[in-house]
Amino acid sequence: MIHQRWSGKRALLAVTSMGLAAALVAGCGGTTKDNAESGSGSGANSEKVADPNAPIKEGLQIAFLPKEIDNPYENIVDEGGIAAVTELKGTGKEVGPSDASASSQVSYINTLVQQNQDAIVIAANDPNAVAPALKDAMEKGIAVVSYDSDAAVDARQVFVNQADSESIGRSQIQMVSEQIGGKGKIAILSATPNATNQNTWIEFMKDELKKPEYKDIELVTVAYGDDDDQKSFQETQALLSSNPDLKAIVSPTTVGISAAARYISSSPYKGKVVLTGLGTPNQMRQFIKDGTVKEFALWDPEQLGYLAGYAAAALASGQITGKEGEVLKAGKLGERKIGKNGEIILGPPTTFNADNIDDYDF
Amino acid sequence: MREKLLRWESILLLLCILVFVWGSASTPGFAETDNISFLLLDYTEVALLALALLPIILTGEIDLSVASILGFCSALTGVLWDAGMSFETIVPIVLVAGAVLGSLNATLIVKFALPALAVTIGTLGLYRGLAYVVLGDGAVTGFPDVYRPIATDTIPGTFLPYATLVVLVLGVLVAVVVHYTPVGRSLYAIGLGEQTARFSGIRVQRIKFVLYIVSGILCALASLVYTLRYNSARADNANGMELIAVAAVLLGGVSIFGGRGTVVGVASALLLMAGLRNVLFLNDVTNEIQNVINGLLLIVSVLVPVVANLVRRRRTPAAAATPGAPPPQETLPDPVGATAAPHGTPEEDQR
């Protein structure tokens, strides 16, 4: 067969020409990171003027797009949001991917644009990957609010933050330090490596650890459970077996902390290793009661969703545009001022322990 | 004629038309240009992976590492871009990297005669792991606005995205090679019986080797599209996409045992999956239900030829006794398949 006899030469030719092409292109310079940054891309709606007295439109269609549809925490947030939308005589719905990946959220954004929703409320899996689709949506006049985990700043109008990231991060360290007596090795069990919120908190946690009063605490490693129950469970197992002298695990994600608690409660580490972080009272109740966990924190996710729902409706009705200094009227939560970069803060987190956990049901 | 109408490819095309007609009639927003181009764009990478997989599966092998090669190449793109290299230089490097990863698969499968399933399950994990080694947990963004439109925009004045055009051109290329060249016929021959093909003078090893390299390059190309489309290079890009691509190929009527299947079939399957997904999305059908529907479609696609074969055999009992009776692929331009059968590889064994 002829093609076989030739293929050796052909391969050589192909490789040489590829190399030549590469060399040629490299020689000509080309588009690099430094000269590609255009820095334009201002928000499409930034020129609009807010009318604080504009009435909230009736019949608004607002969609909530969580990181993944089966995340119990975000389900609660979205319930709160949908409640707010219903209160405002609109229609709210929750849609989302079954895996916490950036690309699957993009498909949903495009779908929501096509459905002519009035507003999209999103917890971004990857701030940049969702940005082009969100910008498209804003260009078509759809209000975009991010909550829980921010999208790129120019790809949304308002970011509803649960609490300011700094106080969350620092309070995690304060909480764990108190429980281990300010001494020993700790590890962090996070969600996905790219989750914006997690990474910001972890940065502040590391920063807090630099303070002299924490000099005896050593952060051994950051593990990633991908907000997947099973993976988080296994990561906990791995953390504990590879670091026998580990004193505490901090898991600032609801999926992580409950999976970790489940592992620890049935292992010899129970009572010896401290577990704390961010969790929901319903998921953690049994572990507080059986002594696996002493204390953890969280804000009220329902209120977070509620606030995001109000922000979305206000944006879609022209009451706010997301500029710093504007005031959002958020129903039963009162008023919130919009901060720098369109950020709205819900408030400080609540700490849960054996004394107060039964007062909460979410 | 009746055979032709009953072929799986025809059924798929009909299903495609049904989905699109049903979508435009029932779902507002479906038939809009924007939506159609988005629907096509959303399946570009899957289509590229499917094109890489099709010839491999035709020979009876498999490559499950396709999405991991995509992930690795995306991570590599990110690292090089972050290091300040020009995008024009990155493109050939990434394509070569894809070829290298593909040839590693090929070496293990062809030279060491290891089972492709085991090898590519291994490299599925290996390449994904390497992607994390290269780029770590972060994401790289800010790819040039000059090139991004290639992956996101449509040809001016039409609904056809540039990326889909690339897929179409490559699809035609693959179709010509597979259906109208000696190499293509060799693929079917290898799939129907590797020994026979080897004894007929087909350089089985060399062909397989090249297929895996081509697969690597196509995956690298898909990674460039993916990275530009989402403007985000990450190690976990396209995680799990290999299963969607394999599903598309099988749904397209390609036999997992090799030797049977057409490019038209795979193309229709891709269009059907993309269309169905879009319609279901627009109607707020959840991902779980969509997975159920896709799963059922896949099972049906595997089941139909088997059932058809059973029915046919029951009708003409003589056909079962004659080893040379070539079942459904008689409509293919495939003389090798017909000559391969008498050498003692009964088709029935392979279903």
| Cβ A276 vs Cβ A172: under 8 Å | yes
Q: Over 60: is that where the pLDDT of B52 sits? A: yes
For residue A103, the distance in angstroms to the closest alpha carbon of chain B comes to: 7
Q: For the residues of A129-198, what is the DSSP string, one character each?
A: TTHHHHHHHHHTT-EEEEESS---GGG-SEEEESS-HHHHHHHHHHHHHHHHTT-EEEEEEES-TT-HHH
Residue A348 zone, left/alpha/beta (φ > 0; ψ -120 to 50; rest): beta
Q: Which residues of B touch A94 (CB under 8 A)?
A: none
What's the average model confidence in pLDDT over A183-193?
Answer: 92
- Of all residues in chain A, the percent with pLDDT exceeding 70 is 88
CATH number of B2-350: 1.10.3470
pLDDT above 90 covers a percentage of chain A that reads 54
**Residue A272 confidence (pLDDT) above 70:** yes
- Residues of A with Cβ-Cβ distance to B244 under 8 angstroms: none
Residues on chain B touching A31 (C-beta within 8 angstroms)? 86-88, 144, 146-147
CATH number of A165-298: 3.40.50.2300
Tell me whether strands A184-190 and A246-251 are parallel, antiparallel or unpaired. parallel
Q: Where are the domains of chain A?
A: 61-162+301-346, 165-298
Determine the pLDDT at residue A160. Answer: 92
What is the average per-residue pLDDT within B248-257?
A: 92
pLDDT for the residue A70: 83
Please list every residue in chain A whose beta carbon sits closer than 8 Å to the beta carbon of residue B30. Answer: 114
**pLDDT value at residue A122:** 95
In the prediction, which pLDDT does B305 show? 76
C-alpha distance from A70 to closest chain B C-alpha (Å): 10
B149 Cα to chain A: minimum distance (Å) = 11
SS3 A248: strand
CB A68 within 8 Å of CB A100 = yes
- For residue B107, the Cα-to-chain-centroid distance in whole angstroms is 21
Q: Do A102 and B137 touch (CB under 8 A)?
A: no
Predicted confidence at residue B345, as pLDDT, reads: 40
Q: Do A22 and B84 touch (CB under 8 A)?
A: no
The band of A348, judged by pLDDT with boundaries at 50, 70 and 90, is confident
Q: What is the pLDDT of residue B248?
A: 94
Q: What confidence tier does B5 reach under pLDDT thresholds 50, 70, 90?
A: low
**A165-298 matches A61-162+301-346 in CATH topology:** yes
Q: Is the pLDDT of residue A149 over 90?
A: no
State whether residue B230 sits within 8 Å of chain A by CB.
yes
**What single letter denotes the amino acid at residue A25?**
V
Interface test mutation site (partner B, options A98, A114, A150, max chain B beta carbons within 10 A): A114
- Characterize the bridge pairing of strands A335-337 and A327-329: antiparallel
Residues of B in contact with A28 (CB under 8 A): 88
Q: How confident is the model at residue A29 (pLDDT cuts 50, 70, 90)?
A: low
| Partner-chain contact A22 B89, CB within 8 Å | yes
Confidence at residue A334, expressed as pLDDT on a 0 to 100 scale? 86
Out of A33, A69, A131, the one facing B84 most closely (by C-beta) is A33
Question: What's residue B328's pLDDT?
Answer: 45
- Whether the pLDDT of residue B182 is over 70: the answer is yes
| Maximal CA-CA distance, chain B | 69
If you average pLDDT over every residue of chain A, what do you get?
A: 86
Residue in chain A nearest B33 by alpha carbon: A114
What was the pLDDT predicted at A11? 58
- List, as ranges, residues 71-100 from B with C-beta within 8 Å of A: 81-82, 84-89, 91-93, 95-96
CA distance A275 to chain B (A): 24
Residue B350 confidence (pLDDT) above 60: no
- Which of the two residues, A163 and B248, has the higher pLDDT score? B248
**Gyration radius (Cα) of chain A, Å:** 24
Confidence class for position A69, pLDDT limits 50, 70, 90: confident
Q: Which residues 6+ apart lie within 8 Å of A89 measured at CB?
A: A58, A59, A60
pLDDT in the model for residue A24:
53
Cα of A2 to nearest chain B Cα, Å: 10
Interchain pair B87, A31: CB under 8 A: yes
- CATH code of the domain occupying A61-162+301-346: 3.40.50.2300
Contact list in A for residue B234 (CB cut-off 8 A) is 102, 126, 129, 194
Residues of A with Cβ-Cβ distance to B288 under 8 angstroms: 98
Q: What is the DSSP letter of A276?
A: E
**How far is the C-alpha of A122 from the C-alpha of A81, rounded, in Å?**
11
Residue A313: predicted pLDDT: 93
Beta bridge partners of B219: none
Q: Name the phi and psi angles at A334, rounded to 5.
A: 85, -145
| Chain A interface disruption, residue of B87, B232, B288, most A CBs within 10 A | B232
Report d(CA B90, CA B73) in Å as an integer.
10
Whether the per-residue pLDDT at B153 is higher than 80: the answer is: yes
CA distance A306 to chain B (A): 22
Residues 162-201 of B with CB under 8 A from A: 182-183, 201
Return the minimum-mean-pLDDT range out of A59-68, B14-23, B292-301.
B292-301
A32/B347 Cα distance (integer angstroms): 55
Task: Check B92 against A114: CB less than 8 A apart.
Answer: no
As a whole number, mean pLDDT of residues A301-306 equals 90
B283 shares contact with chain A (CB less than 8 Å): no
Cβ of A102 and B230 within 8 Å? Answer: yes
Residue A56: its pLDDT value, please? 87
With 60 as the cut, is the pLDDT of residue A2 above it?
no
Q: What is the pLDDT of residue B330?
A: 43
Interchain pair B96, A116: CB under 8 A: no
Q: Which of B95, B206, B234 sits opposite A126 (nearest CB)?
A: B234
pLDDT at A15: 58
Residue B329: name the closest of B270, B264, B262 by CA. B262
B349 interface with A at CB cutoff 8 Å: no
Q: Report residue B298's pLDDT band, with 50, 70 and 90 as the boundaries.
A: confident
Model confidence at A28: pLDDT above 60: no
Mean pLDDT of the A149-170 span: 88
Across the range B266-283, mean pLDDT stands at 93
A21, pLDDT greater than 80: no
For residue B304 the two structure tokens come to: 């139909």
B347 confidence band (pLDDT: 50, 70, 90): very low
Give yes or no for residue B45 having a pLDDT over 70.
Answer: yes
Among A78, A103, A203, pick the best mutation site for testing chain B contact (most B Cβ within 10 A).
A103
Structure confidence by residue, pLDDT tens digits, B204-244: 999 999 999 999 999 999 999 999 999 889 898 998 899 99
Tell me the β-bridge partners of B141.
Answer: B232
For the ranges A232-246, B155-169, B289-303, the lowest mean pLDDT is seen at: B289-303
Q: What does the pLDDT read at residue A89?
A: 92
Q: Do A97 and B145 touch (CB under 8 A)?
A: no
Query: Confidence band (pLDDT; 50, 70, 90) for A251?
Result: very high
CB-CB under 8 Å, A114 with B32? yes
Query: Which site among B137, B152, B277 would you substitute to test the A interface, given the most A Cβ atoms closer than 10 Å to its Cβ?
Result: B137
Quick one: DSSP state of residue A263?
Answer: H
Q: Is B153 an 8 Å CB contact of chain A?
A: no
Domain ranges of chain B: 2-350
Angstroms from B231 CA to nearest CA on chain A = 6
* CB < 8 Å to B42, chain A: 107, 110
The larger pLDDT score, comparing residue A192 to residue B178, is at B178
3-class SS letters over chain B: CHHHHHCHHHHHHHHHHHHHHHHHHHCCCCCCHHHHHHHHHCCHHHHHHHHHHHHHHHCCCCCCCHHHHHHHHHHHHHHHHHCCCCHHHHHHHHHHHHHHHHHHHHHHHHHCCCCHHHHHHHHHHHHHHHHHHHHCCCEEECCCCCCHHHHHCECCCCCCEHHHHHHHHHHHHHHHHHHHCHHHHHHHHHHHCHHHHHHCCCCHHHHHHHHHHHHHHHHHHHHHHHHHHHCEEECCCCCCHHHHHHHHHHHCCCCCCCCCCCHHHHHHHHHHHHHHHHHHHHCCCCHHHHHHHHHHHHHHHHHHHHHHHHHHHHHCHHHHHCCCCCCHHHHCCCHHHHHHHHHCCCHHHHC
pLDDT confidence of residue A25: 52
Measured between CA atoms, how close is A36 to chain B, in angstroms?
Answer: 5
Q: Give the pLDDT confidence score for residue A104 in this predicted structure.
A: 83
The larger pLDDT score, comparing residue A7 to residue A49, is at: A49
Q: Which of A33, A134, A135 to mutate to test the interface with B (most CBs of B within 10 A)?
A: A33
Burial annotation A288-314 (CB, 10 A radius, 16+ → b, else e): beeebbebbbbbbbbbbbbbbbbbbbb
ipTM surpassing 0.90, yes or no?
Answer: no
Mean pLDDT in residue range A182-190: 93
Amino acid identity for residue A158 in this structure: V
The neighbouring-strand residues paired with B11 are none
Nearest to B29 among A18, A115, A132 (CB): A115
Q: Contact at 8 Å (CB) between A126 and A194?
A: yes
What is the band of B351 on the pLDDT scale with cuts at 50, 70, 90? very low
Per-residue pLDDT at B150 = 87
Q: pLDDT tens for residues A95-130? A: 988 887 777 899 899 999 999 999 999 999 888 889
Tell which residue, A77, A43, A82, has the closest CA to residue A61.
A82
CB of B149 within 8 Å of a chain A CB? The answer is: no
